[in-house]
Amino acid sequence: MLIYPFKYLKESVQVSINPSSRGEAIINQFSVADNHRYAELKSETQKQEFLWSRAALNAAEADLKNIKYQGKKPTIENAHISLSHCKEGVAAAFSEQLEVGIDIETKRENLVRIAQKFTTEDEIARFDSEPHTTLQFIWGIKESLFKLYGYGSVDFKTHLEITSFEWDPNIKQGWGIAWISQTCKERTQPIQCLVQTAMVGEHYLCMATHRIPTIPFESARTVLREWTPNDAPLLYELNMNPQVVRYTGDAGFTSTQCALNLIRNYPNYQRDGYGRWMVIDKSTGNPIGWCGLKNNQWGTDLDFRFLKAEWGKGIATECAEATIEKAKSLKLSSLIGRALSENIGSWKVLEKVGMHRYKSVGFEEFAEEFNIAEKDLDSWKGLMLHIYKLELT
Ligand SMILES: CC(C)(COP(=O)(O)OP(=O)(O)OC[C@H]1O[C@@H](n2cnc3c(N)ncnc32)[C@H](O)[C@@H]1OP(=O)(O)O)[C@@H](O)C(=O)NCCC(=O)NCCS
């Protein structure tokens, strides 16, 4: 039985670790290219390793008959595969949607000695696993990022950065966000990746995945696209206006650097395939706010936030409509909207786009689950939270 070892992306990536079959039987399923490659292998150890890796790929539901080679790298057309070996271990990942890199390691005693070559104090400080495990995972994550990148010439310390990481000691799994800043002619922009780690017996397993960004989509007057680091000043400006954040609960940012950190560590696109999108005014090309979706514990929520100068022009309504169409194309089954009773503009937008108010709860009931900034606690007393729903299927 295959057990998916990570927290996220179970639906999009198949992973197999140490399949019980290491056998010769898999040779029957080899592609022409793999037959050639296998015949070229000299040592018995190499042959065993090759067979076991193909058994792992097969267990990860990759069709071995489709394997070809790009240089020395096995590939499958219209899909992504990654393989990793270590002493007594093999791991394979296969995905039709996401680029993927996988790494499996046993304990490496030399990591402390070479740590400064592949990581930094700042990066280590983002991990709260015990010190050796931290170094193993940083190394493994960077190996998996390097494999995902796929075009050589990457410096682990300067081109690969893990910008956030969370570790759950109970299930021995972790996840975070990393950036590959190295570029080349095949990859002209830095890319953001979701990285995941797990302890599987004695093995340290790491996986990096990258999802191609959502293609920008339009409303009549705007374009909606993913946030980029260049959007930090706009996010800062939005959240620094007390009128804009009057009913949102956010504490605001202390600097544009904080807004930039939020963007760089924003996991939603890579993790869920959607998130809040930046709204660009078509007539000027300038960003004017954001609108979009968020995968919350209470469902997928629709929300929006615009610069004060843009209010009252029907922009939020048309962006919410475009977002609902997007949600349908993503095959989401329903959306939730939530707005405070005094935030009339917000709940009017939800009603205009066809959402149905099914509940209103008092401030005290939602205060705990909302992350409400100190400044809002008193001023929201006595308000109701209107909760809306829209079925999409
Ligand atoms: C809420 C917000 C997105 C509304 O954006 P907008 O672009 O002004 O909304 P629209 O122009 O599409 O207006 C939708 C409707 O609400 C009405 N409306 C907007 N602001 C209103 C207000 N302050 N009071 C009463 N009605 C208001 C509009 O008149 C319009 O109704 P109509 O078509 O019947 O005339 C915007 O005010 C905002 O960014 N606020 C700050 C962030 C925020 O609170 N986000 C929501 C968190 S739940």
Q: Quick check: 320 pLDDT over 90?
A: yes
Nearest-angstrom CA–CA distance, 198 and 243 = 44
Full set of structural domains in the chain with CATH: 14-210 (3.90.470.20), 217-228+264-391 (3.40.630.30)
Give 274-310 pLDDT, tens digit per residue. 999 999 999 999 999 999 999 998 899 999 999 999 9
Is the pLDDT score of 377 beyond 80?
A: no
For 186-206, how does the pLDDT look when each residue is reduced to its tens digit (9 = 90+)?
Answer: 999 999 999 999 999 999 999
Q: What is the mean pLDDT of the chain?
A: 94
Q: What is the pLDDT of residues 9-45, one digit of tens each?
A: 999 999 999 988 877 788 999 999 999 999 999 999 9
Strand-pairing partners, residue 225, are 278
**Beta bridge partner(s), residue 14:** 94
Res 369 pLDDT > 80: no
Q: pLDDT for 327-360, tens place per residue? A: 999 999 999 999 999 999 999 999 999 999 999 9
345 lines ligand 1 (CB under 6 A): yes
Report the separation in Å between the CA atom of 304 and the middle of ligand 1, taken as the mean of its atom positions: 10
Q: Residue 391 forms beta bridges with which residues? A: 334
Answer yes or no: is the C-beta of 38 below 6 A from any ligand 1 atom. Answer: no
Ligand 1 centroid to Cα of residue 314, in Å, is 8
* Residue 333, pLDDT score: 96
Atom of ligand 1 nearest to the CA of 340: 48
CB of 191 closer than 8 Å to CB of 179: yes
308 in contact with ligand 1, CB cutoff 6 A: no
Instruction: Indicate which residue's Cα is closest to atom 22 of ligand 1.
Output: 345
How far is it, in rounded angstroms, from Cα 143 to Cα 119? 12
Per-residue exposure over 358-388, b if at least 16 CB sit within 10 Å of its own CB, e if not: eeeeebeebeeeeebeeebeeebeebbbbbb
* Pocket flag, ligand 1, residue 317 (CB < 6 Å): yes
**Protein residue with its CA nearest to atom 48 in ligand 1:** 339
Distance from the CA of 131 to the center of ligand 1, in angstroms?
50
pTM confidence score? 0.93
